[in-house]
Amino acid sequence: MQPDHDRLDRRPFWTVQSVFDPDGEGGDFAYTIGLHDRGLPELHLWARPNRGVDPGEDWMLSPHDRTVLLNTLAWRLLDGALAVGDTWREKFDAGVAVADFELCPPADREHLEAFGIAPGAKVLPVSWSLTRPLEGALTPLTPAARTRAERDLRDAVSALADARRQTPPSSWRPAAAPTFDPRQPFGPLTAVVQARGAQLWGASRTQLNCLLRHAVDVEIGGGSVTFPASSAAASARSVGRTRALEELREAAEALVQRVTGLPRWRQTLDSLLGPGPRESREEASVVRLLRDVVLALLSAEAVADVIPHEWLLAARGPWLTAFGPHGELPGPEWSASPTVLDAVRGLLSPLDARQLGVIAAGHRLSGDGVVIGHEGYADLVHKLNGWALVGSAGCPWRGTLDQLPAWGPLLEGVAGPGVRVELAPLPEFQEWANCLTAALTHRPRLSASEVRAFTLPFEDLLPGLVRLLDEPLTAAS
């Protein structure tokens, strides 16, 4: 029987409060608020290990990690399956990092800085240690990794050439004749890292806006913007690049600080938060989000040859989508499986251009929250977009959506018979298709109410959509 605390229909009656170290020294922590109301002790968890020989100076539990852990422990506590003195082990970073936890006796609320907890409530701290592989020798790139690095560098430099000219600080200018020497400040992939940093320096207000919105989508989708940086730190140890990542972290934070002092950053804040006076904490949260998504990308690029592929995709997805052509996937690796794409073609092929336009309009209106009864659609779009950004769940425009039969008569009417033209991505229709392929790819992660929210705006036009999402997907579908 599945443990009661894992049931999907249970919802926490408590909240998890995450606290950030304002000095950026890693003293972050989280604790529950509300268990005391049911006669239970509250729980407290530090983001970095507070025991053991590894202090985790380059590793910490993200806010998402802390929330998941504390919620899981709270359910166990509620079900009588957790007691002081219990120990357990969790693996992170594809098993590279191992954390050993112990639920400790009650501690002082003020000493733990858990000031949101009711005075007089018991607080049980979770103590833990971190075990990771020892630092390896500084290792050069393999021939295959160097070939991939040369390709990545060409792509990044090409993107710089297409952007408006903004001379970056000297430390972020790729060398005219770059090398892949592992003794460089950020390791053998320093040139790629520098080119990405130069992209950020030259980013337009629109690109910064898109990057931040993509980061929010990832977080709403249940992912973690910061996790690729943690995975990169774990991967760096085996090839002796921990020191390089430490230098990169300092340099990246300095770069973000300079970017957030540029005039277009103020314009970006206005576009995200609205013009006019704002609380400093609102602006600080946006700066922190930018820092996290930048550090995740740059850290992953510094160890792109050894980081697990899934986390390289997760780091690059929001970045390449923001800096790439509008409406396109970051690359073929972000495409959903052929089975999913075939199912989408089968669903959409009978429709004409007007009907495809109705889908795009329905997606925009429901996503803006202006359609009564479709209020849950907008939040779901953020979640599905987040899933498409970080892995193989998106819908390519070229070769899939641009080949739908509906476009033929439309283009012939515009360009004339026999004239071959290409149809550029239609952003709203492309986004809806990305949401659909993400929903099909990750169907087990969606509840029945979420499936209903996604299909409701299109139930008259696409009666087969519900069936497609509710039946097992096979090649025959």
Q: In what order do the strands lie in the sheet with 15-19?
A: 15-19, 29-33, 42-46, 123-131, 97-103, 87-92
Residue 429, phi then psi, degrees to nearest 5: -70, -40
Rounded percentage of the chain residues whose pLDDT exceeds 90? 69
User: Does residue 163 surpass a pLDDT of 70?
Assistant: no
Q: Is 154 helix (H, G, I), strand (E, B) or coil?
A: helix
At 231, is the pLDDT very low, low, confident or very high (cuts 50, 70, 90)?
confident
Look at the block and give the residue holding tokens 């540029």: 262
pLDDT tens-digit map of 41-99: 999 999 999 999 999 887 888 888 899 999 999 999 999 999 999 999 999 877 778 99
CA–CA gap between residue 226 and residue 295 (Å, rounded): 8
What does the pLDDT read at residue 5? 39
For 267-294, letters b (16+ CB in 10 Å) and e give: bbbeebeeeeeeeeeebeebbebbbbbb
Mean pLDDT of 110-130: 94
- For residue range 130-147, list pLDDT tens digits in order: 998 888 999 999 999 999
Residue that is written with structure tokens 């090649």 in the block: 475
Tens of pLDDT along 331-382?
A: 999 999 999 999 999 999 999 999 999 999 999 999 887 777 788 898 899 9
Give the model's pLDDT for residue 417: 75
> Measured in Å, how far apart are the chain's first and last C-alpha atoms?
33
Q: What is the average pLDDT value for the chain, to the nearest integer?
A: 90
Taking the C-alpha atoms of residue 348 and residue 223, their distance in angstroms, rounded to an integer, is 30
Read off the pLDDT band of 165 (50, 70, 90): low
What pTM value is reported for the model? 0.81
Q: Where are the domains of the chain?
A: 4-131, 143-323, 333-470
| pLDDT at residue 375, rounded to an integer | 80
Quickly state the pLDDT bin for 2 (edges 50, 70, 90). very low
Q: What is the DSSP string of 353-384?
A: HHHHHHHHHHHHHHHTT-STT-HHHHHHHHHH
| Tens of pLDDT, residues 400-459 | 999 999 998 888 777 777 777 788 889 999 999 999 999 999 999 999 999 999 999 999
